[in-house]
Structure 1
Amino acid sequence: MTTTGLDYDPYEHARRLGIHVVYRQLRTGNGLWVPEIRTIFLQTRMRLIHERSVLAHELGHALMGHRDSTPRQEIQADRWAARHLINPDELRSAAAASPDPGVWCHELNVSADILERYLRDDRRIA
């Protein structure tokens, strides 16, 4: 799968990988990868922009073979999600249209956390 940015569909990606996505009330966090049952649990009733970002983050855990959640693995999963959810050309276009990163999040359909991780990793945009 080579698509990035707005063309990247984490729901379709999960389906292709045979990973189940289940919505349920979670006590902590907004998402959880459970490798033993190839399932990602997502918090119910998240805003769609946040849900898309959380699902991509959890797919990052799945595809990198993470079995627990260390601070290092959380950064790796955010980085993986950011690289798939944000296309550099789309980001440049959003940045040219507005100086407000909140607008960029809306235009790119990503959470502020994912945008922040992308910008930390790729200073060419800022």
Structure 2
Amino acid sequence: MIASQHDVTLHLAHLEDGVLGYYEPTEARVYFTFGLTPVEERAVIAHELGHVVHGHECGNDRNEREADTWAAQLLIDATAYAEAERHSHSVHDLADALEVTEDLVVHYRTHCMQRLGRRTYGRQARGRFTNAIARGLSG
């Protein structure tokens, strides 16, 4: 649905070794490779759609991070993450429970949530708590 909203098509293709997927803006196509598990396929497509949504035309560290953050926020529900974390803090266990890749869980932890004491808060890519807000919430 997201691809269609952005007039982009998804294509399963034989890609070079090590390339799981890529967005080709001149063709309005997202390519992903054969042999991915369903979980990997979702993560790769979500990442590439992150490039589409952000209008990226080339890959660099910032664009890759933005695409990863967009994919993590799309595929990981904060409430489901919190529930899964009540049972285990293991990246492997969380990825399994949330049906995402371990890399996506690590990225979500690093870029999409913020811990304040014993509490964890989701945040948007640009939203960080100020010290005053953090003190008020953790008190």
- Shorter-chain TM-score category? 0.7 to 0.9
Secondary structure at the counterpart of residue 55 of structure 2: coil
Confirm whether residue 98 of structure 1 aligns to residue 88 of structure 2.
yes
Measure the CA separation in 2 of the matches of 1:17 and 1:109.
25
| Distance apart, 1:34 and its partner CA | 0.5
RCO higher in structure (CA 8 A, sep ≥6): 1
> Which has more strand, going by share of residues?
2
- Provide Cα deviations, 1:91-115, integer angstroms capped at 9, x if missing partner: 0111112232211111111111111
Confirm whether residue 13 of structure 1 aligns to residue 2 of structure 2.
yes
> Which has more helix, going by share of residues?
1
Q: 2:46 aligns with which of 38, 56, 61?
A: 56
2:105 matched residue in structure 1: 115
Q: 1:65 aligns with which of 55, 58, 61?
A: 55
Contact 2:50–2:67 (CA<8 Å) still a contact in 1?
yes
Ranges in structure 2 where 5+ consecutive residues have no aligned partner: 122-139
Q: How big is the alpha-carbon RMSD for the aligned residues of Structure 1 and Structure 2? A: 1.6
Secondary structure at the counterpart of residue 22 of structure 2: strand
| Distance apart, 1:15 and its partner CA | 3.1
Runs of 4+ in 1 over 4 A off after TM superposition: none
Confirm whether residue 82 of structure 1 aligns to residue 72 of structure 2.
yes
Measure the CA separation in 1 of the matches of 2:13 and 2:4.
18
State the TM-score, normalized to the length of structure 2: 0.76
User: Number of residues paired by the alignment?
Assistant: 115
Measure the CA separation in 2 of the matches of 1:15 and 1:107.
28
1:26 corresponds to which letter in structure 2? L
| Distance apart, 1:22 and its partner CA | 0.5
Q: Which of 1 and 2 has greater Rg?
A: 2
Secondary structure at the counterpart of residue 114 of structure 2: coil
